[in-house]
Amino acid sequence: MEIIINFPPGGIVDLSVRVLTEELSKTLGVPVVVINKGGASGAVGAQYVMSTEPDGHTILASAVSVFNIVPLLNPGLGYKLSDFIPLARYANSPSLILVGKNSPYQKFEDLVSYAKKNPGKLTCGNPGVGTASHFALEMLKIEAGIGFVNIPYKGGGELNVALLGGHVDFSTNGIAAAQKLVKSGQLRALAINTYERSANLPDVPSLKELGYPKSVLRIGVGYFLPKGTPKPNVDRLASGFEKAIKSPAVKRTLENLGNIVDYEDGPTFAASIAEEYRVLEEVGKRAKMFKIER
């Protein structure tokens, strides 16, 4: 069996999939080979799996953004969610709202209060235009009723350097990119973009508990089969994947990487993606993030 990761080696999707591979091989009773086919924000790998024989032998491991954010920003990619069968969501890789260690904002409420009184004065760095973190910031603007200047950087590493250097007032960055700096005290996390706290950073409050549930954007990762895969094959794989994902050892390792384990079966996963697409489309329209009118 082949698992196609549609992102380059070393990223959070790649690392988390490889954590699951050994357990999947055990539960399914077959060798599992992992292949990276990155490019075009994940579209290259998705298109490849879509073109393969739908026999359950080739499976896509992907961030959910490939089926909501990427198509919204790049219409006409040549694939859509209906070309696949969602098999399982296994985790979310949330973002953190961060400030430097010397920032005057000790709590998230301090930041929001200042932003409300001084609209447009704060600067916020994000890891890139059109990233999930960028969309999440726009969602927060709407729900909290605040204004600030979004400044995009070229990835999480560059963004961390900017925040550490005081070039932006705050930032939103993936937990995998920032958690070491938080744990070392170089950055302070004011909130995590989740419904519940992370086991990896238990002292950081979730946006939901802070009163902003509509700003939570689950940056999920999961598995997908090409459309047309026979139901017996889908059912067999779904059962094996569920067992592997719920393994205590896998859960611990995924959490250590910064993930929040969040299993959803195929039908629930499909419905979640569709709802996230609807919400992100509305947010993108309000924030004028799309080049083409919708």
Domain boundaries, the chain: 2-92+219-286, 95-215
CA atoms within 13 A on the CB side of 225: 24
Residue 188 has φ and ψ, to the nearest 5°, of: -120, 125
- Residues 259, 90: Cα–Cα separation, whole Å: 9
What are 47-105's pLDDT values in tens digits? Answer: 999 999 999 999 999 999 999 999 999 988 889 999 999 999 999 999 999 999 999 99
Overall fold of domain 95-215: D-Maltodextrin-Binding Protein; domain 2 (3.40.190)
Torsion angle, alpha carbons of 259, 26, 62, 44, to 10: 150
Radius of gyration of the chain from Cα atoms? 19
Overall fold of domain 2-92+219-286: D-Maltodextrin-Binding Protein; domain 2 (3.40.190)
* CATH fold match for the domains 2-92+219-286 and 95-215: yes
Record the pTM: 0.90
What are 220-265's pLDDT values in tens digits? Answer: 999 999 999 999 999 999 999 999 999 999 999 999 988 999 999 9
> How many CB atoms within 10 Å of residue 103?
17
